Amino acid sequence: MDFSKIAAMAGGHAEARAIQTAIRLGLFDALANAARAGDELADALGCDRRATTLLADALTALGILEKRPNGYALTTGAAHYLVASSPQSLGAMILFDAALWNEWGRLEDAIRSGRPVRPPDMFQADPAAAERFIRAMDSLVRARGDAAWTAAHLDLSHARTLVDLGGGPGTYLVEFLRRWPHLRGEIWDLPASLKVARQILAERAPDLQERIGLSEFDYRAGEPPRAADAIFLSNIIHSEDEAVNARLMRTCFRALRPGGLIAIKDHVMDDAMTTPAAGAVFSLYLLLTTRGRDYSFAEIARWITTTGFDQPQITALPNPPFNSSIVNAVRA
């Protein structure tokens, strides 16, 4: 690895903070309909003209904006992913990352202690933090297209009821229900998450609400509310330690009818725990905020087979744009 790449990675916080700040200021939204000169853009944002020009020039240098004779304009990517009104807006995820700025500043503390630097409560204690987290997950999945790809490739033709366990905003569940009209779905999640889920489902899928049930459920402590034909878990196991995940597999086994399907979507690491690279880096975030990490297929398969499921199978999503896999198994 040469100097330029190392230096770019080491200083990557500057680029991240510029984009986060532009989102918070509403800069991309201000350019959604037309280009603006620097002074006009600053006035629209209520910011200093000189400073706004510096930010816009930096975003232009990064390839996010274009600098035209009539002012700054959005690139196609910025219009697609950084304008709040876009269906594929990544803005909520970017704001979530921005809110964790101070936690990343304490990475050394986490490395020394081996413990998270904030309560590992999945942002349940603070309603504003819970909404920011759940909307971030919805934003990321819609922008990248995970839910649409998964619904098109996961066979649910034999299921009548699907549980999205820890399903948060219901982004995956909505795609499953649109793909499989015979299916009824449920989200089992914590109270603060379900409150946000109700808002998002009312906004985006009012036509599906009669086919969706919401149940408060803490898989760390409670028993499954009812039996299901399939259980889907996206980005759940990486928030927990090994012991909790082993118990979680047993909980899912009890919740499934015979022949029922469990599908686990996550960063699934190789045995060396370095591929995919996004999963290895993401484990540092998990160290800061949870008791978990990303796990290898061998680890996941051991939890599943020890519980009594049939031999699990793994399907890697195409990379790019994805960096995760789906592990499937059937209850005998």
Q: How many CB atoms lie within 10 A of CB 196?
A: 22
CATH number for the region 3-86 comes to: 1.10.10.10
User: What is the sign of the dihedral through the CA atoms of 119, 125, 128 and 131?
Assistant: positive
User: What is the sign of the dihedral through the CA atoms of 301, 302, 303 and 308?
Assistant: positive
Cα 176 versus chain centre, distance: 17
Taking Cα atoms as reference points, which of 166, 148, 185, 109 lies closest to residue 322? 148
Q: Which residue has the tokens 């000169």?
A: 37
Superfamily name and number for 107-330 = Vaccinia Virus protein VP39 (3.40.50.150)
Helix (H, G, I), strand (E, B) or coil at 65: strand
Phi and psi (nearest 5°) for 143? -65, -40
**Residue ranges of the chain assigned to CATH 3.40.50.150:** 107-330
Q: Which secondary-structure segment (H or E) carries 41?
A: helix 38-45
Helix (H, G, I), strand (E, B) or coil at 82: coil
Q: Would you say 118 and 103 are in contact if contact means Cβ atoms under 8 Å apart?
A: yes
**Residue ranges of the chain assigned to CATH 1.10.10.10:** 3-86
Residues recorded for the chain: 332
Q: What is the pLDDT along the chain (332 residues), one digit of tens a residue?
A: 999 999 999 999 999 999 999 999 999 999 999 999 999 999 999 999 999 999 999 999 999 999 999 999 999 999 999 999 999 999 999 999 999 999 999 999 999 999 999 999 999 999 999 999 999 999 999 999 999 999 999 999 999 999 999 999 999 999 999 999 999 999 999 999 999 999 999 999 999 999 999 999 999 998 999 999 999 999 999 999 999 999 999 999 999 999 999 999 999 999 999 999 999 999 999 999 999 999 999 999 999 999 999 999 999 999 999 999 999 999 98
Helix (H, G, I), strand (E, B) or coil at 123: coil
d(CA 203, CA 147): 17
